Structure 1
Amino acid sequence: MKTFEFAHAATVEEAISSVVSSGGKYYAGGTNLLDLMKGGVEAPPALVDLRRLGLTNIVATDAGGVLIESGVSNSAIANHPLIRTGYPVLSQAILSGATTQLRNMATAGGNLLQRTRCPYFMDTAFARCNKRVPGSGCAATDGFNREHALFGASDTCVAIHPSDMAVALAILNASVLVQGPDGARTVPIAEFFRLPGDEPERDNTLHPHELIVGIELPPSPYAEHSWYLKVRDRHSYAFALVSVAAGLHIVEGAIRAAAIGMGGVAAMPRRVAEAEDSLLGQQAGEAAFRRAARLAMAGARPLSQNGFKVDLGMHSVVRALTMASR
């Protein structure tokens, strides 16, 4: 790890000013950033500590939703009564990720900003990684790609986003509240992440030096019928091969609203409107769920080693919808 400056910020404005002047990065839990720094993937000249900003509250909003400030730990989110009762799929998603110790340190804002776990990105011994070294190539396209993207990949990058929390936030239509040198703005979660295109080094649509200050959830119709399914090689501390966040609003057995979010298949949480729309007005059951699953996985472009994820994805969608419907 290279040496760096370390500063504490007392206000959001001070944190932003310090990052602008130092060219550094924001630091909260550090569960991903410090790993990247130790491995030489990241080498910021400075870290600006956010832990004195007091962004650690979860509160009900006047609109009937919930505001999660960016410094709240993942454990606190997952176990908060407002989340467990109104947004259980978010609690399930968070509890499926990492270990208790990491969840106690990791923050809401940092979870959204975590980088891919593609081995070619994480290990600087591999020279070819456009996300780490733009223009160097993508070693995964003709290398180890069992865990990589089925959708939205490009010739420059086939990595996936690792967050479980983000997949649940996608079906909850969350908004990300950010503040930067030019002021504050709100970014819908559907517009927060980006596919690699020809700039795979950019994971999201944040402007330079912007800081996530909160995540706002609108009222959800899926509190009674939702489920988060994570399929992985081992149950403990493994990233998803495929994950599915499913939400259903069921009235007298018929589906009135539906949301399906998928992780482990693209560089961002994936939603397919056609799959969700196919469920509307249908009786909750296997036939409707299988039709939605086929639509959810339509257009998949498997690589040399991850073709099994197409069938796995369809079965996972059916399973998640089945569990959500109970």
Structure 2
Amino acid sequence: MNRFSYTRASAVPQAIDQHRSNATAAFIAGGTNLVDLLREDVTHPAVLVDINRLPLRQIETTESGSLKIGALVTNSAVAYDRAVAARYPLLAKAILAGASAQIRNVATVGGNLLQRTRCHYFYDAGTPCNKREPGTGCPALEGVNRIHAILGASDQCIAVHPSDMCVALAALDASVHLAGKDGTRTLPFADFHRLPGDTPNIDSNLRDDELITAIELPKQGFVTHHAYVKVRDRASYAFALVSAAVGVELDGDTIVNAHCALGGVAHKPWRDTVAEDGLRGKRLDAATMRDFAAMLLRGAHGYRDNAFKIELAARVVARAFELATQRSIEETAP
């Protein structure tokens, strides 16, 4: 672990100024991922800016009826919040499917968005990695890649985003509130994370001088028909091989509206609104699910160890729709 200095901020502008004072500064709150990165010699901040005293721990309903969750609210506090449980149960279920209770009690909403990939090569400082050191290569392309991406990858990086919470936030059309030296701005959740392209070292569209202050959820929470399905190598405390967050509105057996986001398959939660639009007015049956999965997974590419994820993703999607609608899709097939 490298040597670093420590400072503590009590206001958002102060935190931003302290972070701007050093090009390699890092914000720290729960530290559940950052401390790992420090210990493994993956990241080397010269300054840690403690933001735990910032007034960002509220969960409140806005005048427009949306729900705003402060960036320092812990994952456990979100999952067990009455308003979240009543209006956005999909989010609560996704959070409770991730990590352990001890980690959820410390990890924050803002930190969850900024998790780095769990790629073996990224965490091994003795191997090359384009995400850690641009231009050094991606050993996962020809190496151990069972947990890696099948969608949106590039020849520079095939890592995946590890968050469960973010998959639900993508399906719920959340937005991210940011504060920086030039003021505040809001990003649609779909625009927050980036695909690797030629710059796999840049995970998000968060600017260097910006701090996440809140997540906002729209009124539509898919209270009646929703599901989070997570397939992993062991029953607890494991990252998803493939996960799906689904919210559906039905009129009888006809799909009125549907949102579906995949986890464990790409550098960011994977959602395809064009594929979702194709579900509107369709009968919820096996044929519809096959067509939707084919559209959602078009362009998917498997590597030596993870090609199974393509078929697995299609099955996880169908299962999530079954659980969300409390009906057997196979039974309703023509």
- TM bucket normalised to smaller: over 0.9
Deviation at 1:284, TM superposition (A): 2.6
Aligned to 1:180: 180
Q: Which residue number corresponds to residue 227 of structure 2? A: 227
User: Are 1:196 and 1:202, in contact at CA under 8 Å, matched by a contact in 2?
Assistant: yes
Q: Which residue matches 1:86? A: 87
Contact 1:221 1:248 in 2 (8 A): no
Q: Report the counterpart of residue 207 of structure 1 in structure 2.
A: 207
How far does residue 290 in structure 1 lie from its aligned partner after superposition?
2.6
How many Å apart are 1:189 and its aligned residue? Answer: 0.5
In structure 2, give the amino acid aligned to 1:97. G
Q: Which residue of 2 aligns with 1:190?
A: 190
Deviation at 1:286, TM superposition (A): 3.0
Residue of structure 1 in register with 2:8 after alignment: 8
TM-superposed deviation, 1:182: 1.5
Residue aligning to 1:32: 33
* 1:159-204, Cα deviation, whole Å (9 max, x unpaired): 0011111111111111100001111100111110101111100000
Cα deviation, residue 65, structure 1? 1.3
1:120-170: CA deviation from partner (whole Å, max 9, x where unpaired): 0011121x1000011100000010111111111111101001111111111
Q: What does 1:154-303 align with in structure 2 at a 5 Å threshold?
A: 154-303=154-303
In structure 2, what residue type is equivalent to 1:52? R
Return the letter of the residue paired with 1:322: E
Moved more, 218-227 or 279-288: 279-288
Q: Which residue does the alignment assign to 2:107?
A: 106
Alignment partners' CA distance in 2, 1:273 and 1:161: 20
TM-score, length basis structure 2:
0.95
What does residue 320 of structure 2 align with? 320
8 Å contact kept, 2:32–2:107? yes
My pick for the range that moved more, 178-187 or 293-302, is: 293-302
**How far apart in 1 are the matches of 2:138 and 2:182?**
34
Instruction: Using the TM superposition, give the Cα deviation of residue 217 of structure 1 relative to its aligned residue in structure 2, in angstroms.
Output: 0.6
Matches of 1:286 and 1:325, distance apart in 2: 13
In structure 2, what is the Cα distance between the partners aligned to 1:296 and 1:277?
11
Post-superposition CA distance 1:42-71 (Å, at most 9, x none): 110111111111211111111111000000
Alpha-carbon distance in structure 1 between the residues aligned to 2:325 and 2:280: 13
Shift of 1:298: 1.9
Q: Is the 8 A contact 1:289 1:322 kept in 2?
A: no
TM-score (norm 1): 0.98
What is the RMSD of the two structures over their aligned residues, measured on CA atoms?
A: 1.0
Extract unaligned runs of 5+ from structure 2: 327-334
Q: Deviations over 1:265-322 (max 9, x none)?
A: 1101111223312321123333322321222222211111111001100000000011
Letter in 2 for 1:107: T
| Residue type at the aligned position of 1:141 | L
Cα distance 1:221–1:70, how it changes in 2: closer, same or farther (>3 A)? Answer: closer
Counterpart of 2:192 in structure 1: which amino acid? F
Distance 2:232 2:187 in 1: 30
The residue number in structure 2 matching 1:54 is 55
Flag the 1:311–1:179 CA change in 2: closer, same or farther, 3 A.
same
Whether the aligned pair in 1 keeps the contact of 2:88 and 2:221 (CA below 8 Å) is: no
**Residue 251 of structure 1: how far off its partner (Å):** 2.2
Question: Is the 1:225–1:249 contact (alpha carbons within 8 Å) kept by the matching residues of 2?
Answer: yes
Q: CA deviation at 1:221?
A: 4.9
Amino acid at match of 1:140: A
Contact 1:78–1:92 (CA<8 Å) still a contact in 2? yes
Q: Secondary structure of the residue that 2:207 maps to in structure 1?
A: coil
AA of the residue aligned to 2:93: Q
- 1:67 corresponds in structure 2 to 68
Q: What's the secondary structure of 2:99's corresponding residue?
A: coil
User: Aligned partners of 1:169, 1:13: CA distance in 2, in Å?
Assistant: 27
Q: Is the Cα–Cα contact under 8 Å of residues 279 and 292 in structure 1 kept in the other structure? A: yes
